[in-house]
Chains A and B, each alone.
Chain A
Amino acid sequence: MRKNKEAKTAHRAGRIKTPEAIFLGELANQQSSKYRLAQGFGVLFAVSLVLQAWALANVFSDMALHQSFSLPLLLLGLFALLLRALANFGRERICTSASRDIRYGLRRTLVSHLTELGPARLRIEEDAALSTRVYEQVDALDDFFSRYKPQVFMVTLIPCVILLSVAPVSWVAFLIFMMTAPLVIIFMIFVGHKAAQANRRQFSVLAMLSNQFMDLSQGLAELKRLNKTNKARQRLSDSASAYQKTTMSVLILAFLSTATLELFASLSIAMIALYLGLGLLEVLPWQVGSSPVTLTQALFLLLLAPEFYLPLRQLGNDYHAKQKAEAAATDLLEILNTPLSDTRKQATKSESVVPALVVDKDAFIGFHQLGWSESGHHRLAPITGGIAQGERVWLSGESGIGKSSLLHLLLGFEEDYQGQLFINRQAFQNIDLSDWRAKLAWLPQTPEWVNGSIRRNLLLGLGSKEGVAAPSEAELQAALIKSQCDDFIQALPDGLDTKLTELGSGLSGGQMQRLSIARALLSKADVWLLDEPCSGLDKDTAQAVLDTLHHVSTGKTLLIVSHDTHPIAWADKHWSLTKGGLHEQSRNENREAIA
């Protein structure tokens, strides 16, 4: 929304191009050769238009005056009509294919960009909303690239061609065209702005309506219990009626301006027709008794007159395509403008040797003044510390202090950090990221599940890679027993083949976390990173999950982020993260905190 406003002010400040317009322009340039070809077809279209008008005018005037016509001219006229159809056909094919290439290419760029952003993508929006951008918003560009963009060229081409062919026939008609065209264009801009405003308002109100529906629908169980479903229905009905009323009041205005434009075009055509009619009857006030044009010329002008305004009117109809595309571009730019960290590409830069002293000698994972700030704002204050192999560390701290950022750093998604990070005494930039990641197990707050059976999710991304066999059934069972999943999985009617969906499958939060633990066990990862695995669970369940974690993670290097409300009694170390850095709580304090 804010961006929109910025764009608007930029627009008002002068003819400075908005970032959206530049973005759309760049995309269109990718397909410039196709658009050039489409322009070629456009020229063919315009020429056949004039040819058709000329041939048919001749045929018609002969028919009116002599009751006969010449076959070659008729055939020429019909051939021109066929040529028009062909030119249209070609233009359409090329423009839609250009639009397709642009959109599908852009979508691929977006998906790969989001992938590289990793967890940072969630700072833009949640996944469901991102999917809307990647699919619906990209497709919203279609009308712009397949219709509006080529139409802009036609709007300049066709009137010019018509003016050129009219000039030698009648100067008066030429002048009428010349004078009315700019007025029509001014009107167009006016109409466009009105339509844009209407569109914007409509979109936001419609979003509000959907929001209200979803709110009531999600609380439907509650409404049923309270026996208030009819009242909610009434509310939905009222707000839909109110929406209808306000939208109509906007649309009446918006359509009125389009209608005025139409009327304006018809008036100009009528002016020309009146001039021609009176001229043919030789009653024009300034030249009574003589005709300025012949019947053929008059018919020629009359056939061309509507065509002169037609592209403009079409552009007016397609104007909303531009609005839609610019609104979509705002959302898409937000994704593309979220910077990727790119230190890996210039990894050699921080090769500086660090005094071995500052990092714990036997630290498996070591930080030295490791911090991360983005646009002047600290996401993670510089911290120093080390985790030994097989050590289990509990990290706590206020929300927003950078606990998750530290985990994302270790996962290799945020490489734009300051200070040093060592893995096995090697600078993080120099290690092989995929080797390091293969050692990791990741257990976030909401477990990462794809749509599919429990089995598929447990084996997600395991095996099927060269040299690594997929875990055997026995290993799978062992992991399930260890993580205490076996009981509830056996209770499921479909067992391991139960489908997991977005909403789980009636499995409780604790059970889902246990499944994550089983998955971590199956992956045989040495380093476990856990981000608040117990938030959202009630106290008893959380405790039980933590107990399980305690037993299965012995011997693993583990970093668990957890609030003080869910203390990790069995951790070897307790770090508390503050704005000032990392503080190791003594074991006594640790015990106290738990007590």
Chain B
Amino acid sequence: MSNHATKTAKLSLKSLLLANPWGFAVPVLVGIIASLAGVALLGVSGWFISAAGLASAIGSALVFNYLTPGAIVRGLAIFRTAGRYGEQVSAHNHLLGLLRTLRLWVWDQRVAKDSANLHEQSRGDLLQRLVSDLDQIIRWPLVVFLPWIYALLSYAAVSVLAYFILPNLLWPLAIAAVFHIFIVPFVCGYFASHAVHVGQILGVHRRGRFVSLFSALITLTIRGHWKDYAQRLDQLDERQRRSEIVIQQAVSVGRFLAYLVTILLLVSCFYLVSVYQASTDNWTLVDGVQGTWFIGFVLSLLAVNELVLPLVQSFVAQGQSQVGLRRLNQLHQDAQVQPDGKIQTIDRMTFSEWRGFYASSGMGNDALDLSVVAGEKVWIRGDSGSGKSTLLAAIAGDCLSTGKAFINDEACDLYGNRGYQSQLSYLPQTPYIFQQSIAANLRLGNPDASTEALWSVLDAVALADWAKSLPNGLETLLSSQGRNLSGGQRKRLALARLLLRQSPVLLLDEPFDGLDKATIATICHSLQNAYKPSILLLVSHVSSQLGDNARVIEL
């Protein structure tokens, strides 16, 4: 699944079917066997009972072979039950596999997104897509595709029986099949599709409105306007309700129509196999039609009816899956050409007319010229809002920029440049700590780091004592977003992770915020000795030993 083509392709229902064709073939096959066995079970047992009755009535009961049909009936019952079981198990196994594939697909799209726009999707929105949209999509094979196949094949099986009873029966059967399998679901789907789409979109929309309104609850309440705004929530709810009603009506009417088709089919079948006898005021079967077989046929038609009923509902699921797919495909990223180029070492970084800015607001630093050579330390200072952080992020290739950058005197596109970024470590203002153990968080910097290396790097950022005091030491699990850490601890842990990478260029954004003097001194000492980078760019409003012997740039 990890080849490049599937990573970047858009999702479609077809690609879902073909995602794991052999895994999907098992539930399809087993389900078909179970459905056919179910239809045959009713047909054969109907024939068996009536044939047995007939045998005893004409006195041939003692020679009637009841063992073989009895065994067939038992076999079919077992097939049906075991088949249903097999279908459910294998289909769910397939669905879970699909869930995994789709989740990884979402992940790949997230990875492909460029860093500046990474936060376009809000957390809630992404979660909604990840949970409910995925849910709608993976149901598709089970709710739409499989029932449709079962209905189609059971109609085919019944046609075989019909052909042997009376070839003429095929006509009404074919017409009913077209109605049951195509026309009725399609017509219902046509009338409800708008409501299905509206309902799906509204579901997302009202949730967003709820969060938005409730987050301003107090302001709206004290201004006395809450009622007007709450009414808008009600309006959305009312619209959702109306679309629900439309869908429900379409489903109910569709089921009723399916019943009507079955009834009409039965009427025409009975009409075709019989002729009116005025003498007895009865309808007799035409010559060549065995009553017992026809009973089996009628009973299997009733079984097919049960298989056809879920089809009507499938169009709702179809619509929901399509909306889910569309929403998921909004995450889709075209494969981007990564500015790639191996950079062995960085000896000199030169920037001319360099300005970093945020994609959304366009705000950033004033354009400047800057040159840094190996062995240099630079301290960037400036007032709040002068764009220090943006400048650093742009140098790190994390943020959009204008102007020219030269690495080792060669023009280089820094933004999203993997080769360049592998040579530097950048500590942003709010670094991220993962919900894993301390050791796992650190090893993201260097997967091969030994335990000693971890302890020594923790020592370097003055966290070793804290880690030792924890009952589980390095294996302590950190809570979501490192919430059980203080801001300073979080930053130092992230710094330790970066130091493990031993990259030649180190960019630090306010590493000393909220730290006491002794800790700052420890970190400065480490950065000047054991973990000394070749080039250090520091953004800080706190003076430190590190800044004291650095070149100062005032923004």
Q: Which residues of A contact B (CB under 8 A)?
A: 56, 60-61, 63-71, 74, 78, 81-82, 84-86, 88-89, 92-93, 96-97, 100, 104, 107-108, 111-112, 114-115, 118-119, 121, 127-128, 130-132, 134-136, 209-229, 231-233, 236-237, 240-241, 243-244, 247-248, 251-252, 255-256, 258-259, 262-263, 266-267, 269-270, 273-274, 276-278, 280-283, 291, 294-295, 298-299, 302, 411-413, 434, 437-438, 440, 442, 444, 448-452, 460-462, 464-465, 488, 491-493, 498, 501-503, 505-508, 510, 519, 523, 538-541, 544
Contact = CB atoms under 8 A, between A and B. Distances in A.
A214 B217 contact: no
Nearest to B445: A226
B187 to A, nearest CB: 16
Contact of A64 (B209, B253, B295, B421): B295
A539 B362 CA distance: 24
Given A135-B210, A240-B99, A438-B222, A491 B54 contact: no
Contacts of B398: 221, 225
30 contacts: A63-B292, A63-B294, A64-B53, A66-B291, A81-B263, A119-B217, A213-B106, A215-B480, A217-B110, A218-B432, A229-B111, A247-B96, A251-B89, A259-B84, A266-B81, A278-B66, A280-B53, A281-B61, A291-B56, A295-B49, A413-B218, A448-B216, A451-B208, A460-B225, A461-B219, A461-B223, A464-B225, A502-B123, A538-B384, A540-B541
Interface string B135-155: 000000000000000000000
A492 B361 contact: yes
Given A97-B245, A277-B52, A510-B385, 15 more contacts: A67-B284, A68-B277, A69-B270, A84-B259, A210-B131, A221-B428, A258-B85, A259-B84, A267-B77, A273-B49, A283-B61, A438-B222, A448-B219, A460-B219, A505-B360
A111 B233 contact: yes
A256 B88 CA distance: 10
Contacts of A136: 132
Given A114-B214, A115-B230, A236-B103, A262 B81 contact: yes
Contacts of B222: 411-412, 437-438, 440, 442
Nearest to A101: B241
B131 A118 contact: no
Interface in B86-113: 88-89, 92-93, 96-97, 99-100, 103-104, 106-108, 110-111
Nearest to A277: B52
Nearest to B134: A210
B283 A502 contact: no
Given A218-B432, A451-B212, A71 B218 contact: no
Contacts of B48: 273, 277
B263 A82 contact: yes
A123 B400 CA distance: 40
| B: interface residue count bin | 35 or more
Contacts of B119: 503
B100 A241 contact: yes
Nearest to B435: A215
B45 A273 contact: yes
Contact of B267 (A78, A277, A278, A460): A78
B223 A462 contact: yes
Contacts of A213: 103, 106-107, 130
Contact of A82 (B61, B93, B259): B259
Nearest to B218: A442
B212 to A, nearest CB: 4
Contacts of A252: 89
A228 B447 CA distance: 10
A465 B212 contact: no
B84 A460 contact: no
Given A78-B267, A282-B61, A276 B49 contact: yes
Nearest to B284: A68
A93 to B, nearest CB: 6
Contact of B96 (A108, A244, A282): A244
Nearest to B216: A448
B372 interface: no
Interface string B249-270: 1011101100110110011001
B497 interface: yes
Nearest to B214: A127
A267 B74 CA distance: 9
Q: Which 8 A-B pairs have the closest CB atoms?
A: A461-B223, A295-B53, A506-B361, A85-B259, A219-B432, A240-B100, A64-B50, A259-B85
A135 B203 CA distance: 8
B206 A135 contact: yes
B221 interface: yes
Contacts of A132: 207
A58 to B, nearest CB: 12
A183 to B, nearest CB: 16
B6 interface: no
A291 B53 CA distance: 10
B339 interface: no
Given A131-B207, A273-B73, A281-B56, A295 B358 contact: no
A65 B57 contact: yes
Contacts of A460: 216, 219-220, 223, 225
Interface of B: 45-46, 48-57, 61-62, 64, 66, 70, 73-74, 77-78, 80-82, 84-85, 88-89, 92-93, 96-97, 99-100, 103-104, 106-108, 110-111, 115, 118-119, 122-124, 126-127, 130-132, 203, 206-226, 230, 233-234, 237, 241, 244-245, 248-249, 251-253, 255-256, 259-260, 262-263, 266-267, 270, 274, 277, 280, 282-285, 289, 291-292, 294-295, 298, 358-363, 383-385, 396, 398, 418, 421-422, 425-426, 428, 431-435, 444-445, 447, 480-481, 494, 497, 501, 510, 513, 541
A388 to B, nearest CB: 22
Nearest to B64: A281
Given A81-B263, A118-B218, A266-B81, A507 B361 contact: yes
Contacts of A251: 88-89, 92
Given A78-B266, A225-B396, A273-B45, A215 B434 contact: yes
Given A60-B46, A507-B361, A224 B111 contact: yes
B118 A220 contact: yes
Contact of B363 (A70, A263, A491): A491
A205 B215 CA distance: 30
Contacts of B115: 221, 224
Nearest to B440: A235
B77 A210 contact: no
Contacts of A544: 384
Contacts of A112: 230
Contacts of B237: 104, 107-108
Nearest to B266: A78
